[in-house]
Amino acid sequence: MTLSITPPMSALRAQQIAQTLDLRALPPDFLNNPYGVYAALREAEPFKRMPDGAYFLTRHADLVAVYRDAKVFSSDKQVEFGPKYNHAPFNQPPFAPPGGVAPLFEHHTHSLVFNDPPLHTRVRRLIMGALTRRAIEAMEPGLVELVDSLLDKIEAQGGGDLIEDFASAIPVEIIGNLLDVPHADREPLRGWSLAILGALEPTLTPEQEALGNRSVNEFLAYLRALVAQRRQHPGDPEHDVLTRLIQGEEGGDALSEVELLQNCVFLLNAGHETTTNLIGNALISLQEWPAQRDQLKADLLAAASNEERDQALNLAVDEFLRFESSNQLSNRRALQATQVNGVDLPAGALITLCIGAANRDPAVYDQPEQLDLRRTGNKHLAFGFGVHQCAGLSLARLEGRIAIGRFLQRFPDYQLTQAPVRGGRARFRGFLSAVFRTA
């Protein structure tokens, strides 16, 4: 049975959407398959001026130039997120205390990814201290055990849902372990994460915004109790990120309570949604590209050592990240008038960096619209670039390699039994559900 997973878009339709592109009013066919629109923009309007005045960039070289210049292009979102989040009724009781700010605004303007130095530098350094190469290698046996236990359950029932039963269960456990969240407390974590990150989409319904604000408040209430407990009984700062964040750097400034709590929320969100999408997108892409699936299976069988097997999987993971980037959009604000590759940008310009478009730029990739799991020299931007490159990229690659490799080893002939359900979002590209059988 052939399932329609990513329906093609005609060149004419892609050009129509590109000419009138508005992130606040995206048609369903764009959300299903935006890549034709991205190609049209790269060719005709690589610095697309949007209806709200922002610039939409689609060429790989232009994104790299912006990422490189962190002094001119700010990640701080105070200006951009104020009108979006900090308004009635969400900056008032019961969502916020009197005189306070909306929970979503407070969270997203304090998280690592939406800040510049010095906060960004302090928090990133603390997190990276617990994500050393040695620390990540030490996680592998536990990750293998987790993945195998999920696969055992799937095998016992002859199938399941690639997202609910597998992809989403892995990063929640890994980040839960990094923060040492008790297993009994982990059930609400995914729901909170989906609601908070979903609020980053270009448009929100009042119901989505209310859910996002409630989720921030519920998550913070839980974290306050967890932090109080960890202050009394610290963990090993070499492995427990929460303990590291609480203790801070020796001789350095400690994080404020708001910085501490909001970056714990960020850690779960950053580690959960993107890795879920990486694993889910990969296993569903293999259904769309059966020749690539057969080739990867053959490469894994032919591997003469664990190193050769890991090398094949590492190439595949980077290609999945390029081909279907978990995070499709990023944003910056120009602090002064400047130029990017000869194009003038005014001071205050809001810029959307289209990672999904840059990762299929034919100026960088041979046959970019083709999934090629043996692709080498893969300069994808799925993890960003420069000082804001994802702090957890090595952990995400490990999770992808173990999850995809062991899934294929156990269920080499798995098949989707119905069309998967996409998340329907522009920024985070993934699936909500994908029902399959093991053979």
Q: 3-class secondary structure for 283-309?
A: HHHHHHCHHHHHHHHHHHHHCCCHHHH
CA distances from residue 296 to 73, 87, 245, 367 in whole angstroms, order as listed: 40, 50, 40, 19
* 306 and 144 Cβ atoms separated by less than 8 Å: no
398 three-state secondary structure: helix
Q: What percent of the chain has pLDDT over 90?
A: 80
DSSP 344: E
Supply the pLDDT for residue 402: 97
CA torsion angle 387 389 392 397 (round to 10):
-150
Supply the pLDDT for residue 1: 46
Residue corresponding to tokens 């070289």 = 61
Residue corresponding to tokens 């997202």 = 163
Nearest CA among 104, 83, 239, 245 for reference residue 176:
239
Q: Which residue has the higher pLDDT, 245 or 361?
A: 361
Q: In angstroms, rounded to a whole number, what is the distance separating the alpha carbons of residues 83 and 306?
A: 52
Q: Which two tokens stand for residue 201?
A: 């989409």
* 318 and 400 Cβ atoms separated by less than 8 Å: no
Kindly report the CA angle at 74 between 272 and 129, in degrees rounded to 5? 45
Residue 130: what are its φ and ψ, rounded to 5°? -100, 0
Supply the pLDDT for residue 438: 97
Nearest CA among 334, 331, 358 for reference residue 345:
334
Q: How confident is the model at residue 250 (pLDDT cuts 50, 70, 90)?
A: low
Q: Return the bridge partners of 351, or none.
A: 55, 332
CA distances from residue 120 to 67, 76, 391, 396 in whole angstroms, order as listed: 15, 10, 11, 20
Q: What is the pLDDT of residues 111-165, one digit of tens each?
A: 999 999 888 888 888 888 878 888 888 899 999 999 999 999 999 999 999 999 9
Q: How confident is the model at residue 251 (pLDDT cuts 50, 70, 90)?
A: low
Supply the pLDDT for residue 29: 95
Residues 330-341: what's their mean pLDDT?
97
Which DSSP helix (H) or strand (E) runs through 261? helix 257-288
Q: How confident is the model at residue 254 (pLDDT cuts 50, 70, 90)?
A: confident
Q: Which two tokens stand for residue 194?
A: 């989906």
Whether the full predicted model's pTM is greater than 0.85, yes or no, is yes
Please provide the average confidence, as pLDDT, over all residues in the chain: 93
> Which range has the worst mean pLDDT, 247-256, 290-299, 396-405?
247-256
Domains of the chain, CATH where assigned: 11-437 (1.10.630.10)
**Highest mean pLDDT, choosing among 91-100, 112-121, 401-410:** 401-410
Q: What is the pLDDT of residues 214-247, one digit of tens each?
A: 999 999 999 999 999 999 999 988 888 889 888 8
Position 243: which residue type? T
